[in-house]
Amino acid sequence: MTTFSDLMSLLLCFFVLLLSFSEMDVARFKEVAGSLRDAFGVQREEVVFQIPKGIDVVSTEFPARFTVDELLERVKAAVKLELIKGEIQIESLKDRVILRFKDELMFPKGSAELTPRAKAVLLKLGEVLALFDGEIIVAGHTDNLPIHSQKFRSNWDLSAARAVSVVDFLLAHKFVLPRQIAAVGYGPSRPLYPNDTEEHRAANRRVEIILLQKNAPLLGYSEAFSGKRNQEPLPEEK
């Protein structure tokens, strides 16, 4: 009767004989091994002249969340009624959207306190700004008529205070981040139209909210509403 150990011995001898009769193709073996090495990157040698460095996640530039066209449509939908009434004007450029608010919508005459209607409009607009990841600049503008007020020393003072009021409101409602927004007062220095008629002066008294796409140059922004652009006179009312 064959024991288990005898069977294992016979099988071992059988496989040793098979191995002794076989011949290894060395060239074929090297070819297959090379293919596997290239496929899996095993023992790949690379010449490195500098110490490998990790990726700086903070400095990595991410694309803007919205294109200008998408941002424009969202803003228009938020302030649709005010656009129809002509209380807000919207202009889109290559890398920014500019909202112009008439001063009577935003503030009482000679004041920097937001009107109830202004707060309602900013609440609607804030829902869009909360999703915006670019920079926001709030700019106050006045006409060239001197201001007579105990609270504000000049039109420059008034325009800056109005811009700050809008910024404070947006920050208080957490629509924007402090590092994302800035307030600027331009006084009468950057009119849209010549201050030669009451209609033109009314148009020059305004607050602008400029939504700059990520990495947009601020120099380009300053030229966007600096008054250097040719503006057509407002049509006279009949």
* Residue 206 sits in the same domain as residue 89: yes
Structure tokens at 207: 């607050």
Clarify whether residues 33 and 76 are in a common domain: no
Does residue 59 lie in a domain region? no
Q: Based on the fold, state whether residues 119 and 207 are members of the same structural domain.
A: yes
Distances in whole angstroms, Cα of residue 236 to Cα of each of 45, 64, 147, 168, 202: 78, 41, 26, 36, 13
Looking at residue 67, its pLDDT comes to 82
Same domain, yes or no: 30 and 123: no
Q: Helices 116-129 and 155-172: crossing angle, nearest 10°?
A: 60
Query: Contact at 8 Å (CB) between 206 and 100?
Result: yes
Q: Could you identify the residue written with the tokens 């105990």?
A: 150
Which residues of the chain register pLDDT less than 70? 1-2, 16-65, 215-238
Sheet containing 96-102, strands listed edge to edge, beginning at the edge strand earlier in sequence: 88-92, 96-102, 206-212, 135-141, 181-185
Residue 159 lies in a domain: yes
- Give the Cα separation of 108 and 104 in Å (integer): 6
What is the model's pLDDT at position 59? 40
pLDDT of residue 114: 96
* Contact yes or no for 150/174 (Cβ under 8 A): no
Does the residue 203 lie in any domain?
A: yes
Q: Are residues 139 and 196 in the same domain?
A: yes
29 and 94 within one domain = no
Spell out the SS3 assignment of 157-220: HHHHHHHHHHHHHHHHCCCCCHHHEEEEECCCCCCCCCCCCHHHHHHHCEEEEEEECCCCCHHH
* Strand extents, DSSP E, the chain: 88-92, 96-102, 135-141, 181-185, 206-212
pLDDT at 7: 76
- Looking at the structure, tell me whether residues 25 and 86 fall in a common domain: no
CATH at 115 = 3.30.1330.60
The answer as to whether 216 is a domain residue is yes
- Number of compact structural domains in the chain: 2
Domain that holds residue 16: 4-40
pLDDT tens column, 13-28: 777 666 666 655 555 5
DSSP-based three-state secondary structure for 2: coil
Residues 215, 105 within the same domain: yes
- CA separation for the pair 200, 202 (Å, rounded): 5
Residue 62 lies in a domain: no
150 shares a domain with 32: no
The letter for the amino acid at 81 is L
Express each pLDDT in 77-121 by its tens digit.
999 999 989 999 999 888 899 999 999 999 998 899 999 999 999
For position 4, what pLDDT does the model report? 74
- Residue 234: inside a domain, yes or no? no
Residues 35 and 113 placed together within one structural domain of the fold: no
Question: In this structure, is residue 169 part of a structural domain?
Answer: yes
Q: Are residues 29 and 118 in the same domain?
A: no
Determine the Cα–Cα distance for residues 134 and 141; give it in Å rounded to an integer.
23
Same domain, 21 and 74: no
Q: What is the pLDDT of residue 156?
A: 95
Instruction: Please check whether residue 236 lies inside any domain of the structure.
Output: no
